[in-house]
Amino acid sequence: MMLSVEGLHVYIEASHILRDVSLAVGEREVVCLVGRNGAGKTTTLRTIMGYLAPHAGRIRFLDREIGGMRPFAIAQLGMGFAPEDGAIFADLTVAENVEIATWTRRTGRPAGDRLAQAYAVFPVLRRYGARRGTQISGGERKMLSIARALALDPTMLLLDEPFEGLSPAIIPEIGRGIFEITKLGHAILIAESNIHHVPEYTTRLYVIERGEIIFSGHPSEVQRDPAVLRVIGGTP
């Protein structure tokens, strides 16, 4: 497996947020972690990325233990992260926000190739290249965050709520962009609160509730579990 999380326990201050969370992402897989707001999705991704330290459990990426490593070191290994809030640099232009990834991680691919790939996934960003991060819409900031993570030239991407808070008109465009990324061969782990936003090309689904994984399997299998569907809003 490209990413393996085993028996993860995470505390934030005195609160036990994640309880024995295990999941895996293989090469070229698109895996979704679905759960209600506050279920532990963002905490899981932030712990994988090194922003939170696990209390117990193991996190392995490309056969290397990364639990407790700092975020910049994990990024250097080839993990790209697009957080829920986008974390766009407001004082930089759209073009500079994308380019900064090529400055912070050197790889064997020329920076120009990496930038061209990012803009090919979300071509609208090239049109807005001179605008500041505060001068684009919420959907465009989501695109920019994902494009910047892609320009890092990662092996794997973590996408936290890429469809959250967007208008119905922009959601398909984000979905098409993520699909283009899958065709490039990247593994992707998506955290999502709405089961109806889970991409049809998802290869594996996990459902998290109150910090625990309550379902693991193919997306089609969750439709046969009424209890899980009630948790994630898949039934009336």
| Residue 224 reports pLDDT greater than 80 | yes
Give residue 236's pLDDT.
Answer: 45
Residue 22 corresponds to which amino acid?
Answer: S
Average pLDDT of span 8-20: 95
Give residue 90's pLDDT.
Answer: 84
Other C-beta atoms lying within 10 Å of the C-beta of residue 15:
9
CB 12 within 8 A of CB 69: no
> Tokens 């890092």 — which residue?
152
Digit-coded pLDDT (tens) for 110-139? 999 999 999 999 998 999 888 988 888 888
Give residue 86's pLDDT.
Answer: 67
| Residue 235 reports pLDDT greater than 80 | no
Weakest-pLDDT range from 30-34, 76-80, 167-171, 203-207: 167-171
List domains and CATH numbers for the chain: 3-232 (3.40.50.300)
Average pLDDT of span 133-156: 91
What percentage of the chain exceeds 70 in pLDDT?
98
Digit-coded pLDDT (tens) for 45-88? 999 999 999 999 999 999 999 998 999 999 999 999 999 876 88
Average pLDDT, the chain: 91
- 8-state DSSP, 226: H
| Residue 29 reports pLDDT greater than 60 | yes
What is the full DSSP assignment across 3-16? EEEEEEEEEETTEE
Residues 23 and 235: their CA atoms lie apart, in Å, by 25
| Residue 234 reports pLDDT greater than 80 | no
Return the higher-pLDDT residue of 210 and 108.
210
Weakest-pLDDT range from 122-126, 139-143, 162-166: 162-166
Residues 236 and 233: their CA atoms lie apart, in Å, by 7
